[in-house]
Amino acid sequence: MATAIGGFLGLLGPFGSFLNGPFWQVVAYWVALAWLGFAVFGGGAALILRRLGSRPLAWVAIALYVAVLSVPFGVVSWTLATSLWPRLRHVPGLTPLVWYLEGLTITAPQVALFVVMRTRRRKPSGGPPSPAPGLLGVAPGEVLCLQMEDHYVRVHTARGSSLVLATFAQGVAALGGAPGLRVHRSWWVAEKAVAGVVADGRNLRLVLTNGLSAPVARSSVAAVRQAGWLERGPAASASDSVIA
């Protein structure tokens, strides 16, 4: 960005700088000032934003910072310009105040652009961020149930299922406390996935929204009842085919 802005100013030649000397010198002068400006003013603005955030006070602090630092910055630019083009020292009306105001006119918009870009980049895009997929390959909120298969865990979502190499305990831990219960030694079911309950003899099965059914261990019946899942009523008959 500094190079682009410096090159643009070199082509534009503001404040009569296009008359100062060869084209390459004018471009090099403005590119050098742009880099120095971004280092001095951009670095300071970044520190202020880090301490004060994007509050109005930060804008006031940055404005004061730019106004004060533009004095030594103007000295540096004057020294560089008069070293390249000594005749500038004798130009009528080119007082230190005019030089300062010209420098401020160039610097202030660049700093404002820098601050706006940094502020927008740090703003959240809206809503809480989705958890990283991690071990399961999907966000915990997408999981309908987990099913243990030998040394793998099958992850069921509304889009289908996939196998991940992990212990069942690792799979449940990767859910990060998502609402649900481990209803069997080889099944974990999300609360939102329970469509109903079906009795299979003395056993219970949870019928899920994706068409699967999960067995409920006798030791887990109390937890399922406490969660209110038994009150969701039958969703299939005992003669319906189920997946063990």
Q: Does 243 have pLDDT greater than 60? A: no
Given this model, what pLDDT does residue 191 score? 93
Q: Does 233 have pLDDT greater than 70? A: no
In a domain, 241, yes or no: no
More confident residue, 127 or 218: 218
More confident residue, 234 or 231: 231
- The token pair at 170 is 């690792």
CA gap 228, 240 in Å, rounded: 23
**Owner of token pair 């533009």:** 70
Given this model, what pLDDT does residue 242 score? 37
> What's the CATH code of the domain at 149?
2.40.50.1020
Mean residue pLDDT across the chain: 81
Given this model, what pLDDT does residue 9 score? 79
Asked whether the beta carbons of 188 and 217 are under 8 A apart, the reply is no
Q: Of the residues 122, 146, 165, which one is the last residue of a structural domain?
A: 122
In a domain, 87, yes or no: yes
Confidence bin at 241 (pLDDT 50/70/90)? very low
Q: In whole angstroms, what separates CA 75 from the centre of its chain?
A: 40
In a domain, 239, yes or no: no
Q: In whole angstroms, what separates CA 87 from the centre of its chain?
A: 51
Q: What is the span of the domain harbouring residue 75?
A: 2-122
Phi first, then psi, for residue 240 (nearest 5°) are -65, 150
Longest dimension (CA), the chain: 105
Task: Examine the domain organization and report whether 144 and 116 are in the same domain.
Answer: no
Helix (H, G, I), strand (E, B) or coil at 187: strand
Could you give the C-alpha distances from 226 to 79, 84, 124, 215, in angstroms and in order? 80, 83, 38, 17
* Angle separating helix axes 56-84 and 23-37, nearest 10 degrees: 150
Confidence bin at 54 (pLDDT 50/70/90)? low
Confidence bin at 183 (pLDDT 50/70/90)? very high
- Backbone Cα Rg of the chain: 34
Task: Examine the domain organization and report whether 22 and 113 are in the same domain.
Answer: yes
Confidence bin at 152 (pLDDT 50/70/90)? very high
Highest-confidence segment of 39-43, 129-133, 138-142: 138-142
Task: Examine the domain organization and report whether 85 and 186 are in the same domain.
Answer: no
How do residues 73-111 score in pLDDT, each as one tens digit? 888 888 888 888 888 888 888 888 888 888 888 888 878
Q: In what order do the strands lie in the sheet with 203-208?
A: 194-200, 203-208, 213-216
Q: Of the residues 100, 122, 144, which one is the last residue of a structural domain?
A: 122
Q: Of the residues 122, 144, 168, which one is the last residue of a structural domain?
A: 122
Q: Give, in degrees to the nearest 5, the angle at Cα 235 between 233 and 236.
A: 130
Task: Examine the domain organization and report whether 153 and 228 are in the same domain.
Answer: yes
Number of folded domains that form the chain: 2
Task: Examine the domain organization and report whether 118 and 143 are in the same domain.
Answer: no
Q: Does 231 have pLDDT greater than 90? A: no
Given this model, what pLDDT does residue 189 score? 96
Q: In whole angstroms, what separates CA 138 from the centre of its chain?
A: 18
Q: Does 239 have pLDDT greater than 60? A: no
What does the pLDDT average to over 198-205? 84
